[in-house]
Structure 1
Amino acid sequence: MSGLKRLLKKGLGLGDMAFSAGGGAINWFPGHMAAATRAIRNRLKLSDLVLEVRDARIPLSSANSDLQPLLSAKRRVVALNKKDLANPNIMHKWSGYFERCKQDCIAINAHSKGSVKKLLELVEFKLKEVICREPTLLVMVVGVPNVGKSALINSIHQIAQSQFPVQEKMKRAAVGPLPGVTQDISGFKIAQKPSIYVLDTPGVLVPSISDIETGLKLALAGSVKDSVVGEERIAQYLLAVLDTRGTPLHWKHLNNRRAEGVEYDVEENHIYNLKNLKPKRRNNPSNRCDLVYVEDLVMEVQWALHSTLTEFNGNVEDESDLESLIDLQFGALQKALKIPHKASEARLMVSKKFLTLFRTGKLGPFILDDVPDHTPVS
């Protein structure tokens, strides 16, 4: 058993976050989720096809296990969204896995119309046998919170409007970085003949997540509110994953500019803001100073983790050694992120900024789930 697995088994110092050392559970099931789950179950009976959106970084962990028996019984397409944040060297293995499971699956970027059009082509192909005999078809979009359903819905609607401009305009679906933005079921037409309607649904989790690592992956991907688990604990898990995989050791070549002494025209007293790390709107292009600052910040963070792991004499497969390494890395990250030494909430600030770098893809593309060695029996 690896050091990470041992840490997870004993709680990773996370015993008071609703996980317990024996496996425990994470509970975040707001009232609207319970109501939405009931509504989804009822409307699934009327749906001709289910479009299940998952996070490409966690293809299995982002599946709602309670709904799987119902979803697998329907005509279904699994869309692995946020493929731009997922490791392309592993994504093809996941495609092979779903193919072996006889499940239609496609990796997409919900913000790319070209990517979404390919998804719609697959949906249309799957509906072909029904189109000839049904005047009205219903496609339901489901998924856990914050996998990008609303962003996908908006892209689909824009494509539909360009093809069928006469249909009524729909208010854009609310999109945000926090889970729980969409809280009711709404829909719109995307085709005239036959009439095809798409229903958007709120992101719903299972009432209780019994597996610690699944819960942490969902929290790391943003499907569970940070306040439920705690940013520091999520950051600890991310560091443990990076260390046990040896990821920082591969970041040495990314720091060539440091060795070459490349300098940038950047303000010396640049004020750090998390907004600098988030995508800018097209009509508000990023300031070059901000771009260079964030790039340099990422390099400092990568170098800090590379250095601490390279110089560490312990064994990352040992839970005690791994915990010691993570403590050292928090200190190194505090310096890299230029957080005041005496800040009373330094570790929390480090965690928030570190998680933002990961979630926005600044640390590189990742897939946290491992491809199963076996194909589940359907």
Structure 2
Amino acid sequence: MAGMKGLLKKGLGEMGFNAGGGVINWFPGHMAAASRAIRNRLKVADLVIEVRDARIPLSSANADLQPQLSGKRRVIALNKKDLANPNIMHKWIHYFDTGKQDCLPINAHSKSSVKKLLELVEFKLKEVISREPTLLVMVVGVPNVGKSALINSIHQIASSRFPVQEKKKRATVGPLPGVTQDIAGYKIAHQPSIYVLDTPGVLVPSIPDIETGLKLALAGSVKDSVVGEERIVQYLLAILNTRGTPLHWKHLNNRRMEGIRYDSEQRHEYNLKDLRPKRRNLPNKSDAVYIEDLVWEVQRALYLTLMEFRGNAEDEGDLENLIDQQFGALQKAMKIPHKASEARLMVSKKFLTLFRTGKLGPFILDDVPHTDAESCVVTHKE
């Protein structure tokens, strides 16, 4: 990983993730007020559901809240498990288990997945449910990890399981971080009364290192405009290359990698933004074939450039040259005719959308730490 570390230091070293400003000021004013409100409500919470991104189980933790959260009944919900590598997920579950911390991978849009989470929450509240007339569950997490989607799924399940007195509310859901900016309470049950608080996503005032900041940006927890899409994609390509991921894609479909492809019946330009979850008509067959073709062209471009690479990925100069070649290959694969300055931005935006929607496959970007288990929910270890 020496090449990637060198590339980060060389090309991205001027980035400063801090509240005071500098090159990057990513900590909006509303986050400071929200942090204070969350801390106050945590004091009276009976249980906390800490939502993290399953692709970055450590990097998506709010380190500033960990000391307070460690003293509460807590469940760590690793959301977006459908986007995370299942071959590695069991190692993370074991990691948290050895630290005596309840952890459950979930998909906030799956009722069966959320039901398992609710069962675990009820089990942990069982010891106090008999003596407390009102119980408070807080949902916390950094921006864009799926807290509001989880709240909505909980409402749908709880409305059929428990009598709900007032009309059910829905939390606002959006593809960008910072959509939820107020702390709202939702009554999901009575006898005893159980309230769930959805809170705004809050990052720490100072991100510990550049790589953690880039992982948060790659997962969408920091707005793209703050870091820059090209920087984020440079980092993603560095990860893929140093792990040799494109070489593994060949085994998925040898015919496509050898250049044999299939044309859709009605080829047209399909907006990749439509892959993001929102209320809309589902893509038709032609759309699906177009996206499938695009993914294979992208994977094939990265596979060929890495296969033909004769340099050393551990050398920052060689790795930088490879990534430059891959930007050009991706531009051709995506059929982007723009000028060089515009093309890299267009390539970056499309490539990020493919990654974030899982079209390039499932990933876990954090490495399972080889450290004392007690540190698993408090610190970030590389």
**TM-score interval (norm. to shorter):** over 0.9
Matches within 5 A, 1:301-340: 301-340=298-337
Q: Which amino acid aligns with 2:126?
A: K
From the superposition, tell whether residues 19 and 161 of structure 1 become closer, same or farther in structure 2 (CA, over 3 Å). closer
Q: Which amino acid aligns with 1:310?
A: M
User: How much has 1:376 moved relative to structure 2?
Assistant: 4.1
Paired with 2:265 and 2:147, the residues of 1 have a C-alpha distance of 38
Paired with 2:125 and 2:178, the residues of 1 have a C-alpha distance of 30
Name the residue aligned to 1:200.
Answer: 198
Name the residue aligned to 1:265.
Answer: 264
From the superposition, tell whether residues 221 and 149 of structure 1 become closer, same or farther in structure 2 (CA, over 3 Å). same
Query: Contact between 1:109 and 1:116, CA under 8 Å: does it hold in 2?
Result: yes
Paired with 1:216 and 1:47, the residues of 2 have a C-alpha distance of 32
* SS across alignment from 1:253: coil
From the superposition, tell whether residues 52 and 290 of structure 1 become closer, same or farther in structure 2 (CA, over 3 Å). same
User: How much has 1:262 moved relative to structure 2?
Assistant: 5.0
Name the residue aligned to 2:101.
Answer: 103
Paired with 2:290 and 2:174, the residues of 1 have a C-alpha distance of 24
From the superposition, tell whether residues 19 and 166 of structure 1 become closer, same or farther in structure 2 (CA, over 3 Å). closer
The count of residues paired between Structure 1 and Structure 2 equals 371
* SS across alignment from 1:345: helix
Q: Which amino acid aligns with 1:4?
A: M
Alignment match of 2:91 (pick from 75, 90, 93) = 93
Which stretch shifts more, 80-89 or 157-166? 157-166
Is 1:81 aligned to 2:79, yes or no?
yes
From the superposition, tell whether residues 26 and 372 of structure 1 become closer, same or farther in structure 2 (CA, over 3 Å). farther
Which stretch shifts more, 159-168 or 91-100? 159-168
Q: Which amino acid aligns with 1:332?
A: A
User: How much has 1:65 moved relative to structure 2?
Assistant: 0.4
Paired with 2:182 and 2:321, the residues of 1 have a C-alpha distance of 45
**Root-mean-square deviation over aligned CA pairs:** 1.9
Name the residue aligned to 2:287.
Answer: 290
* SS across alignment from 2:63: coil
Q: Which amino acid aligns with 2:5?
A: K
Is 1:160 aligned to 2:158, yes or no?
yes
Name the residue aligned to 2:57.
Answer: 59
Residue by residue over 1:156-205, the C-alpha shift from the partner in whole angstroms, topping out at 9 and shown as x without a partner, is 01111112354222331111110000001011122212111111100000
Matches within 5 A, 1:209-288: 209-258=207-256, 259=258, 261=260, 263-268=262-267, 270-279=268-277, 281=279, 284-288=281-285
Name the residue aligned to 2:2.
Answer: 2
Unmatched runs of 5 consecutive residues or more in structure 1: none
Paired with 2:312 and 2:23, the residues of 1 have a C-alpha distance of 29
Q: Which amino acid aligns with 1:6?
A: G
User: How much has 1:264 moved relative to structure 2?
Assistant: 3.1
User: How much has 1:343 moved relative to structure 2?
Assistant: 5.6
Query: Contact between 1:111 and 1:155, CA under 8 Å: does it hold in 2?
Result: yes
Query: Contact between 1:276 and 1:294, CA under 8 Å: does it hold in 2?
Result: no
Query: Contact between 1:54 and 1:80, CA under 8 Å: does it hold in 2?
Result: yes
Paired with 1:94 and 1:166, the residues of 2 have a C-alpha distance of 36
Is 1:72 aligned to 2:96, yes or no?
no
Name the residue aligned to 2:379.
Answer: none
Unmatched runs of 5 consecutive residues or more in structure 2: 376-382
Query: Contact between 1:97 and 1:375, CA under 8 Å: does it hold in 2?
Result: no
Q: Which amino acid aligns with 2:289?
A: V
Paired with 1:212 and 1:275, the residues of 2 have a C-alpha distance of 27
Alignment match of 2:27 (pick from 7, 13, 29) = 29
Q: Which amino acid aligns with 1:327?
A: D
Query: Contact between 1:17 and 1:230, CA under 8 Å: does it hold in 2?
Result: no
* SS across alignment from 2:251: helix
* SS across alignment from 1:77: strand
Query: Contact between 1:26 and 1:209, CA under 8 Å: does it hold in 2?
Result: no
The TM-score, its normalising length taken from structure 1, stands at 0.94
Query: Contact between 1:153 and 1:173, CA under 8 Å: does it hold in 2?
Result: yes
Name the residue aligned to 2:296.
Answer: 299
From the superposition, tell whether residues 322 and 343 of structure 1 become closer, same or farther in structure 2 (CA, over 3 Å). closer
Identical-pair percentage:
80
User: How much has 1:16 moved relative to structure 2?
Assistant: 4.8
Name the residue aligned to 1:122.
Answer: 120
Paired with 1:280 and 1:304, the residues of 2 have a C-alpha distance of 30
User: How much has 1:132 moved relative to structure 2?
Assistant: 1.4
Name the residue aligned to 1:173.
Answer: 171
User: How much has 1:111 moved relative to structure 2?
Assistant: 0.2
